[in-house]
Amino acid sequence: MTEKPIEYIKNLYAGSTQCESFLHDFFARDILDEARNFHKQIPGYRISPLKNLSNLASKLGLGGIWVKDESDRLKLNSFKVLGGSYAVGKVIQSRLGTVDQPLSFSNLTAEKTHSQLGEIIFSAATDGNHGRGIAWAASQLGYQSIIYVHKLTSRARIEAIERNGAKVVVVDGTYDDAVRQINVDSEKNGWQVISDTSWEGYEQIPRWVMQGYSTMISETQEQFAAQGLIKPSHIFVQAGVGALAGSVIGYYAELFGKNRPRSIVVEPSLAPCLYESAVIGDGQPHSFEGELNTIMAGLACGDPNPLAWNILRDYANYFVKCPDYVAAKGMRVYGLPLANDPFIVSGESGAVTLGCLMFIMLWPGAEELRKRLHLEHNSQILLINSEGNTDPNHFRQVVWEGSKSVPHEYRYFRS
């Protein structure tokens, strides 16, 4: 039986005030300003574009589809470097004992800083983009890095990490196995772990990572203002461990409170740890067991980030899981847009939200969800293209060769 394009569950905890004080502290204005100011100092920094797929929006009966395009962020093909660089910077600042001073890129790279701290080896586990960002940030600041990847990581993603100065180790297991192994080996070797997921006793650095992502949303809000929009009405955001989703949804929840946009968290059906946590429904994060063998490599995670889960539990409206063909459709639509809509290069993890949105609007089986979400002619949708072409061979298989094609029973488009 062909897998449905969408399965969804309403978040029964949405609207809870359980982590309200946590949210205020997490997204404090001075912290977000510090992250944004730090990123502005990085050589090559520029605001990534917010692109408007106005013709596709009209075709789907929506007011606007806005895509924050992270495919060329600092020439690294992903937003991930925002969180990794800020966390690396904060670790160095903490070791210097200068947390009461502004976080300065030039101070972190100064010769006196290196002579004071000596050698630091930064480490991380990754599906590709986070590790590449950590390798780049460490190299930019004059330090070494070692990155662990799982056995299904493509050669192209490994080589991209290596080109940014890191040593790469392949772990015989899943992404979650790589996370556990890097923690053990870093403790033994004295490496400094920079993880985008948290565990008991390790929360501050993943917190910095998530706060670093806020620069992207701060930029987005400025770009919406330039279009005369106060905020999007809906946010579709992809999730692996949930750090990106927690950062985006938490940012808007803190900024707009009860008037925040409706939010939909989208995961692969082969790695839906947040969706399954919502299904279990006890308010706790739960791991998803499986090989996580999805084309959405950046989302192939079985263990939720507990920090992110605290935010998503209280503020995400719906959790959705989609098969690989939904992400593949999103890639092809981005790459072959309607006339006068902008062309966007999007990898598998970046495109799943567009595919999900299209099936919600077109698939008769999603009619009830459309109504619940109030998706209509004046809706303004925010999507995040979280990555560009990070695996060229697989990208061509999907876009050129039609790999992971949409099943015949789900092929239709509104005339």
CA distance 172 to 247: 30
Task: Identify the CA nearest to 366 among candidates 318, 300, 295.
Answer: 318
Query: 133 near 81, Cβ under 8 Å?
Result: yes
CA distances from 238 to 263, 265, 275 (A): 11, 6, 12
CA distance 300 to 291: 9
Longest dimension (CA), the chain: 66
Task: Identify the CA nearest to 85 among candidates 27, 127, 143, 9.
Answer: 143
Name the phi and psi angles at 290, rounded to 5: 160, 175
- With a CB cutoff of 8 Å and minimum separation 6, the contacts of 143 are 88, 119, 120, 121, 122
Task: Exactly one of 4, 69, 127, 341 is catalytic; name it.
Answer: 127
Annotated catalytic residue 127: yes
Print burial letters for 158-170: b (CB count within 10 Å at least 16), e (below 16).
bebbeebebebbe
Name the phi and psi angles at 387, rounded to 5: -155, 155
Q: Could you identify the residue written with the tokens 């999805």?
A: 294
Task: Exactly one of 4, 68, 80, 329 is catalytic; name it.
Answer: 80
Task: Identify the CA nearest to 164 among candidates 79, 274, 75, 83.
Answer: 75
User: 177-180 long-range CB contacts below 8 Å, 24 or more apart?
Assistant: 177/150, 178/125, 178/126, 178/148, 178/149, 178/150, 179/125, 179/303
CA distance 66 to 318: 20
Task: Identify the CA nearest to 148 among candidates 126, 129, 164.
Answer: 126
Q: State whether residue 80 is helix, strand or coil.
A: helix
Catalytic residues: 80, 127
